[in-house]
Structure 1
Amino acid sequence: MKITLCQLNFTVGDFKTNTQKILDYYQENSGSDLVVFPELCVSGYPPEDMVSRPEFVQVSLEYTNKIIEETKNQNADILINTPWIEDGATYNAALIISKGKIVHKQYKYDLPNYGVFDEKRVFKAGPKPKPFMYRGRKIGMLICEDTWNKEAAAGLKGAEFILSVNASPFERTKHDKRMFIATQAVEAAGCPVFYTNQICGHDDLVFDGGSFVMAKNARVFFQMKFFEEDTETFDVEEVLKAKPAGKTEINEFKHIYKAMMLGLSDYVSKNNFPGVIIGLSGGMDSALTAVAAVDALGSERVKLVLMPSRFTSKESIEDAEEIAKNLGVKLDRIDIEDLMECYENNLKPIYGKAKKNVAEENLQARIRGNLLMAMSNKFGHLLLSTGNKSEIAAGYCTLYGDMCGGYSLIKDLYKTRVYDIAKWRNKNKPSGSKNDSGNLIPQRVFDKAPSAELRDNQKDVDTLPEYEILDEILYNMIELDKSEQEVIALGYNVETVKYVERLLYNSEFKRRQACIGVKISSKPFGRDRRYPITNKFLEY
C-alpha cells in the first residue's frame, strides 16, 4: 500500500482555491492508494466563528461533494477534512473517500480549548477513535489534538498504522513537542504514525509543515520540509519494517526567521495588500523588520521612510541609509522638526509652565505614526510595527506612535533574540528569500547602545534594566508564569524584579491595542496570555 502525504498552503474561506489545489495534488499522486491532506483542508484552518455561520458550513459541504464527484472514477482514495453536520451538530470530520463513496468518517475527539484554540466553541466532540478496516488492513486515525491525547492513541492498539491529520501552528520549541507526542502515540498504539501538517500564515499563526513518518520503533522514518509545500509517497511495508533513522536537527534561528517570512508573505498576499511600509530609524528593530520584509516580499513591495528629529544622531541616519541601500529600496525622508515645533507651539498655551516630560518625547513618536499611517492610507501598503516583546512587555512604547501598524514581525521576540536573529540573517540566506545578499545590517547597528532617540543622549537603559537581565526576568514571568518571589529566588535584584513586574502589569492597556504579529513563543501577548487591564493584584 502506498500513502502520499500532501503538505499544502490553504486559506480560510477560499473554498474554490482550496478544492482545486486538493484535486490537482490528488491527480498528481493518483498512483498512490491513498492521498492524505491536512486538517480542515477544504475550509481552511482555523475557521474560528465562521463555523457558526450555516452558510459557511453549507459551502464547505458543497465543495466536499465536488471532491467526491471528481474522484469517483479514480483508483486512488483520498482523505480530506471538513466541517460536517449531523443531527444539527457541527463536527470536525475526516473523510476517506473511495470511488465516489465515503468509506470512513471520523469526528475529532479531543477539541483543544486553550491558547489560540477554542474549538469547543464551534464544534461538537466525536467519540473516542477506534481502529477500522481499510483495504483489508486494520488502521487508525487521529485528528490533530487527538494525537496529543495518550488515551485516544492507546485506543488504537492493534492497528497496523495511524493516519494523523493536522493543522499544528509553529512555535520555537514545537518540533520537539511534536516528536514527543508522536513517540507517545507510537508507543501507546504500538504502530507507526503518518503525520501530515499544513503550511501557511494565518493572521498571527504560522503553520510550519514539517510532516513526517514515525516508525514503530519511535524513530523518524522520514522528515518532510518545513515552511514549504511538499508531498511525499511512502510504501507502508517499508515503514513497517523500518530501521532506526537519524534525528532531525533544527536550527532555531532559521525556523524563527522562516516563520516571520511566511507569516508576512501570506498575510500581505491573502489580504491583497500591494506591499508594506516601514519606518526605518537606523536601529536594530526596524532594521531586522526591513530585512525580513524584503526577504519575504521583494524590494519592490517594501517602502522605507526615515523621519529624523533634532534628537536623531548622524550615525542613525547613516545606518538607515546604508540598510536601505543594501536592500535595494529607496529611502524616503521626512524631517519632523517643523511638525514638532508646530505641535509644541499649539500646545504651549495649554501646557503652560508645566515641565517637559515624556509627553514631548511621545509627541515625536506620534508624529511619525501619523505620517506612516497617512502614507499607508494613501498607497494601500500595510504598515509594519517594529516594537519587540521586551518593549511591549514593559510598556516602553507609545500608543498611536511607534505602536501604529497592522502587523508585526518581532512583537514576540525579546530584544536579545532580535539581535540573535539579525546576526543569523547577516551570515545566512534563508531558502525562498527574494534577496540574495548577506551582511545587510551594518555592524554599527549591533554595536551601538539601543536608544529611542527622543531626547538628548537618551539610552534605553535610562529607563529599563539591561536587556540581558530584563529579558530573563520577563521570560520567567511570562513564558514560565513564575511569581515575583520565584523570580527573586533565582538571584535577581529584588527592586529590579518588582520594577519589571510593575511595568508588565501596568502596560496591559497598551497591549490590548497593539497590532497582531507572528506567534513565535508559547506565550505571545494576545490569546495565549490573557490578563485583565483593571487589576489590583500587585497590591497584595
Structure 2
Amino acid sequence: MLKITIAQINPTIGDLEGNLTLHLDAARRARHDGADLVVFPELSLTGYYPADLLDEEDFRQRLDIAMDHLLAATREVGGLHWVVGVPTRNPGTGKAYRNSLLVIRDGEVLLDYHKQLLPTYNVFDERRHFEPGPDVARVLRIAGAQVGFMICEDGWNDDGKDYAINPFQRLADAAPDLVVSINASPSHVGKRELRHAVFRAACWRHRLPLVFVNQIGGHDQLVYDGASFAIEPEPGVVFEAARFAEDLLTLRFETDRGTFAMRDGGPLPPTHAGLDTLAFYRRQIVLGLRDYARRCGFDRVVVGCSGGIDSALTLALAVEALGADRVMAITMPSRFSSTGSVEDSKALCANLGIPLEVCPIEDIVRQVADTMAASTLALRPTGLALENLQARVRGTLLMTVSNARGPLLLTTGNKSEIAVGYCTLYGDTNGGLGLIGDLYKTEVFALSRHLNETAGREIIPAAILDKPPSAELAPDQRDTDSLPPYEVLDEVLKLLIEGERLAPEERDTAQAAVAALRASDEGQALITRIKGMIARNEYKRRQAPPIVRLRARAFGSGRQLPIAAKHG
C-alpha cells in the first residue's frame, strides 16, 4: 500500500522563494497525512514556463540557490519522497538545461528523469531552452511499489502520431505498478476531456494505473485549471481533484490490486461532470484575471464603459474576479454617443455596485481637430480618421487614469473584432489584459445571458443585450455597416482561425455555414474579403495586450504569423 499526496499548487513563474514555500507547506501536510510521496507539477520550482529567464545569469544563480534550499527542505520534512519538477543543468552538448523530474528524500536525489518530448507547437516552445532527455524509463521502488515517472508531453504520444519515440511504451516495458505523470497542461475548452481520453486510452492499452498532477493558475495569457486525476485501467478516471483551485489531498494506492482509495481506505468520491462551455469560459477568465492582476501588482482595474455588450461583460467578469470595490468604470460620451448608451452604462454599474465616472470627450476631440487644422498640416480629421481620433482620445484618458491612480486597464475587444481589425490601435486596444479577446461576438452575447440566468437577476441590462452592436463613432453607426452579421462572420472566422482544432460539432456547423456561402459568388467574395481583413490586421494583433486564452487556438503566442507577407 502506497500513500500519494497530490500537490496541485499555483506557483508563480520566477518566484523561486515563494514557490519553495508552497512546496514546503504541502510536504508538511503530506507528512501529517502519512504519505509516502508528495507529487508536484511540472517545473513546479520555477513555475511553467520560465522561458528566457533561463538565459539570464542572475536567474540561473538564483535557481542554483533554490535547489540547495529545496534539498534542505526535504531534509526538514524527512522520510518523505518529494517528486518535483525543476530545470537541471545539461552536462552534455546542446541546450543548457533539461526539463527534469527529481525524486528527493532526506536531501538525496534518488531518481532523475528528463523530459523526452519537448513541444514546440501552439503556445509551447520548450526546445528553445531544453535538451531532450534520453529514451529510457525511470522506475523507483517506494513503500513496496514500483513507481514509474514521466513528464506531461511524454504521455501524449502513445498513438505514435506526433513523435518517433513513445516514452509511455518504454515505461510500460519496465513494468511499474503505478505511473506518476507531472504536468503543466494549460486549459482551453475541451482540454479536460481530451486529457482524460488520451491518458485513459494509454492506461487501458498498457494495463497501468496512473496519477496525473497538474498545476493551476493564470500565467500571462495561459490558465491552468488543475483537475489532477487518477486512472485505473478498466474503469478509467476514478478520481479528480478540484478545478480552478489549489488542492492538496492524499490517496491510497493498493499495490496488489492496482486500485485507488481515500487515504483512510474509504471509497473515492464520485467523479464529477465537466463544466458546460459558458461556465468554463467564466471560470477560466475569472482565474486568469485574478492571478494576472495579483502577480503584476495590481489590486484594482479600470474599464472604459461604452454602454455596449463588450465593456458590460468585461466589467461583470472583473467584479466577479476582484470584487466591486476593486473595479472602476469610466464612460466617455462624444457627440455621437446615444443618450441610451450613457443611461445603459449607469444601469449596468448600479447593478454591479461599482462607481461610474463620466468624462465627456467632445471638447477634447474638437480641440485636437482645431489644432491640426490651424497647424502647417492644415488637416481636419473626417471620416475614419475622426472615428479613430475619438477612440484614441478615450484610450489616452483611460491610460492616464491608470497612470495617475494605479488600476490595471482592461481592454474590451472580442475575438471577432480583433480578427478583422475592427478596433483602433492605441485606442480601444489600449490596456494590460483582455478578458474577452478569445470570445467570438456571438459568444459574448451568450456568456452575458449566462451571467444573468445564473444570477437569477439582471446584471447586464436587457437594453444592452438587445441593442444592435455599434462603435458609436459616427452618426447612426452600426457594426453591420462594416461587417457581415456576427452570426455569419463568426462561423467563417472559426474555420479560418481554428479549423481542425474546433470541436467536431462546432467544426461541422462552421463548415456547413462556409459551404453555403461558397455556393454563391457573393458569398465567396465575402469569404475572400474576410481572409484579407484577417491578414491585413496582423500588425494590430502583434501590438495588442495579452488576452486570456479560452479556445484551442487563440491570438497571441499560439498563432504566429508574419506581418509583412503575402497571404493567399
TM-score for the superposition, normalised by structure 2? 0.89
Q: Secondary structure at the match of 2:386?
A: helix
Matched, 1:531 2:567: no
Taking the TM superposition and a 5 Å limit, the aligned residue runs for 1:162-177 are 162-177=179-194
Q: Which of 61, 70, 75 pairs up with 1:72?
A: 75
* Contact 1:159–1:189 under 8 Å retained in 2: no
* Contact 2:388–2:424 under 8 Å retained in 1: yes
* Contact 1:309–1:337 under 8 Å retained in 2: yes
Residue 84 of structure 1: aligned partner: 88
C-alpha distance in structure 2 between counterparts of 1:464 and 1:202, whole Å:
33
User: After alignment, is 492-501 or 40-49 more displaced?
Assistant: 492-501
Residue 55 of structure 1: aligned partner: 58
Q: Which of 296, 313, 321 pairs up with 1:271?
A: 296
Deviation of 1:510 after TM superposition, in Å, equals 1.1
Amino acid at match of 1:112: P
Taking the TM superposition and a 5 Å limit, the aligned residue runs for 1:419-498 are 419-428=445-454, 438-480=457-499, 490-492=515-517, 493-498=523-528
CA RMSD of aligned residues (A): 2.2
User: After alignment, is 133-142 or 233-242 more displaced?
Assistant: 233-242
Alignment gaps of 5+ in structure 2: 159-165, 261-266, 502-510, 518-522
User: After alignment, is 185-194 or 518-527 more displaced?
Assistant: 185-194
* Contact 1:223–1:248 under 8 Å retained in 2: no
Change (3 A) 1:353 1:22: closer
* Contact 2:372–2:379 under 8 Å retained in 1: no
Q: Which of 145, 154, 160 pairs up with 1:146?
A: 154
Percent of residue pairs identical: 38
Residue 103 of structure 2: aligned partner: 96
* Contact 1:386–1:411 under 8 Å retained in 2: yes
Matched, 1:46 2:49: yes
Matched, 1:228 2:245: yes
Residue 442 of structure 2: aligned partner: 416
Matched, 1:517 2:547: yes
C-alpha distance in structure 2 between counterparts of 1:481 and 1:250, whole Å:
22
Amino acid at match of 2:180: L
Matched, 1:305 2:330: yes
User: After alignment, is 381-390 or 50-59 more displaced?
Assistant: 50-59
Q: Which of 100, 115, 118 pairs up with 2:122?
A: 115
Deviation of 1:487 after TM superposition, in Å, equals 8.4
Change (3 A) 1:235 1:355: closer
C-alpha distance in structure 1 between counterparts of 2:90 and 2:271, whole Å:
44
C-alpha distance in structure 2 between counterparts of 1:57 and 1:32, whole Å:
32
C-alpha distance in structure 2 between counterparts of 1:408 and 1:61, whole Å:
36
Deviation of 1:86 after TM superposition, in Å, equals 3.8
Residue 218 of structure 2: aligned partner: 201
Q: Which of 149, 171, 176 pairs up with 1:159?
A: 176
Q: Secondary structure at the match of 1:142?
A: strand
* Contact 2:145–2:178 under 8 Å retained in 1: no
Residue 4 of structure 1: aligned partner: 5
C-alpha distance in structure 2 between counterparts of 1:247 and 1:326, whole Å:
33
Change (3 A) 1:117 1:352: same
Amino acid at match of 1:459: R
C-alpha distance in structure 1 between counterparts of 2:37 and 2:65, whole Å:
22
Amino acid at match of 2:451: R
Task: Report Cα offsets for 1:193-233 as digits up to 9, x if no partner.
Answer: 10010011111111111111111125111011111001121
C-alpha distance in structure 1 between counterparts of 2:411 and 2:23, whole Å:
35
Residue 398 of structure 1: aligned partner: 424
Amino acid at match of 1:391: E
Deviation of 1:71 after TM superposition, in Å, equals 2.4
Residue 433 of structure 1: aligned partner: none
Q: Secondary structure at the match of 2:424?
A: coil
Q: Secondary structure at the match of 1:62?
A: helix
Deviation of 1:100 after TM superposition, in Å, equals 2.2
C-alpha distance in structure 2 between counterparts of 1:467 and 1:489, whole Å:
13
Residue 33 of structure 1: aligned partner: 36
Task: Report Cα offsets for 1:61-93 as digits up to 9, x if no partner.
Answer: 322322222222622221111111142641111
Deviation of 1:413 after TM superposition, in Å, equals 0.9
Taking the TM superposition and a 5 Å limit, the aligned residue runs for 1:230-379 are 230-237=247-254, 240-241=258-259, 248-349=273-374, 356-379=382-405
Change (3 A) 1:266 1:103: same
Amino acid at match of 1:189: H
Deviation of 1:274 after TM superposition, in Å, equals 3.1
Q: How many residues align?
A: 529
